[in-house]
């Protein structure tokens, strides 16, 4: 989250982030979960530091940190002589809960002109908000994306349609390319059969379930640690893959299983969404847009895979021999490896 406020001779920036993730080298353009990072042990060590100790570690890395941000005017002038004001963080007793910190910094300007804001890709997706001006801009910036033009002039109020449209690509990118565990689960459904109707029925059940928990969790009615949810999501991938191998028919039991796993995956989507938050204005429209983006990502994956696989291996026998068995073995082993990694290393 980036909050920008324009003063007479300077631009103030508040960047709220997971400092431990930054210091340990997490690249949020690639991963959403710190448990998936190679340096997760160092991350957990940083999590145990007191607030003052964490701030000291960060200050030593300030020069590298400030190089991740750019402010530039319409005519190309770059304003990047950022000065650190303060770092705000809290001590936490429960290491299962995320800790957010705020880095306050500013850049001096001789003449205030409209400008653009941009962050390096490794900072991941960003919500940018402008304060100190009536109806200041609120933007969702995808990884490495440049902001709209920012000035100290009052703006027209953001509409629900803009918020809705802004969050559709956010949901899509959290499936393709970022949501590898969700991609593998959807592939597990695809590998079950070359027939379109069982596939559509299964994905509909899955969609209904994860929509329920995504909404409830985002609204604050459910809160479960990602350290519990993420291993279970990995295990769901392995379970579906095993069912593909040992059961050749679609049963009511499988549909109940898919619904239960959909509830889990919805909590996984919500934990990702919690990393950058939802706007207070038009919260519901942002949530709906995100969910539609997720569905578009899933449908794109399903139908692209279906067109390739079902038309290449047209009979049930061929499909089961060359797609269901080997594909499910690969997906299942991947999920099992993730499960143990997230339990013992996450």
Average pLDDT over residues 40-67: 87
φ/ψ (deg, to 5) at 332: -65, -45
pTM of the predicted model, to two decimals? 0.70
Residue 79, SS3 per DSSP: strand
Inform me whether the pLDDT recorded for 331 exceeds 90: yes
pLDDT band at 129 (very low <50, low <70, confident <90, very high): confident
pLDDT band at 242 (very low <50, low <70, confident <90, very high): very high
Residue pair 6/108 in contact by the 8 Å Cβ criterion: no
Identify which of 330, 196, 19 has the alpha carbon closest to the alpha carbon of residue 322. 330
Identify which of 73, 67, 70, 66 has the alpha carbon closest to the alpha carbon of residue 150. 73
Inform me whether the pLDDT recorded for 39 exceeds 70: no
Residues, the chain, total? 346
Inform me whether the pLDDT recorded for 229 exceeds 60: yes
Query: How much is the pLDDT for 137?
Result: 67
Identify which of 145, 110, 111 has the alpha carbon closest to the alpha carbon of residue 126. 145
Average pLDDT over residues 268-290: 77
The two tokens of residue 121 are 């890709």
Task: Report in angstroms the alpha-carbon separations of 123 from 2, 87, 118, 283.
Answer: 11, 17, 10, 23
Describe the crossing of helices 196-218 and 180-190 by its angle, rounded to 10 degrees: 150
Residue pair 343/227 in contact by the 8 Å Cβ criterion: no
Highest average pLDDT, of 28-32, 165-169, 275-279, 320-324, comes from 320-324
Residue pair 171/273 in contact by the 8 Å Cβ criterion: no
Inform me whether the pLDDT recorded for 108 exceeds 70: yes
pLDDT band at 48 (very low <50, low <70, confident <90, very high): confident
Residue pair 35/226 in contact by the 8 Å Cβ criterion: yes
Average pLDDT over residues 175-184: 87
């Amino acid at each position: 989250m980036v909050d920008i406020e324009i003063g007479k001779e300077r631009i103030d920036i508040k960047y709220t982030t997971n400092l431990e993730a930054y210091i340990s080298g997490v690249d949020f353009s690639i991963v959403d979960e710190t448990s998936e990072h190679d340096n997760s042990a160092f991350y957990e060590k940083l999590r145990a530091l007191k607030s003052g100790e964490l701030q000291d570690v960060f200050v030593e890395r300030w020069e590298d940190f400030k190089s991740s941000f750019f402010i530039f005017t319409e005519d190309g002038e770059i304003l990047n002589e950022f000065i650190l004001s303060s770092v705000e963080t809290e001590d936490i007793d429960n290491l299962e809960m995320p800790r957010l910190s705020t880095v306050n910094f500013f850049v001096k300007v001789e003449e205030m002109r409209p400008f653009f804001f941009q962050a390096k890709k490794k900072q991941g997706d960003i919500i940018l908000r402008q304060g100190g001006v009536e109806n200041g801009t609120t933007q969702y910036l995808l990884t490495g994306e440049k902001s709209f033009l920012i000035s100290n002039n009052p703006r027209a109020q953001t509409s629900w349609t803009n918020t809705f449209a802004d969050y559709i690509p956010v949901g899509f990118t959290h499936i393709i390319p970022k949501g590898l565990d969700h991609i593998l689960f959807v592939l597990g459904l695809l590998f079950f059969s070359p027939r379109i109707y069982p596939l559509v029925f299964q994905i509909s059940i899955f969609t209904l379930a994860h929509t329920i928990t995504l909404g409830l969790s985002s609204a604050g009615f459910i809160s479960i640690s990602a350290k519990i949810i993420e291993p279970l999501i990995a295990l769901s991938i392995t379970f579906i893959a095993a069912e593909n191998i040992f059961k050749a028919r679609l049963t009511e039991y499988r549909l109940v299983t898919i619904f239960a796993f959909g509830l889990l995956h919805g909590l996984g989507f919500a934990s990702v969404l919690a990393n950058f938050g939802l706007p207070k204005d038009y919260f519901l429209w942002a949530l709906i847009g995100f969910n539609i983006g997720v569905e578009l990502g899933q449908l794109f994956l399903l139908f692209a895979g279906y067109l390739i696989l079902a038309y290449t291996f047209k009979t049930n026998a061929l499909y089961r021999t060359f797609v269901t068995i080997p594909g499910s073995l690969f997906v299942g082993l991947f999920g099992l490896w993730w499960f143990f990694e997230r339990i013992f290393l996450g």
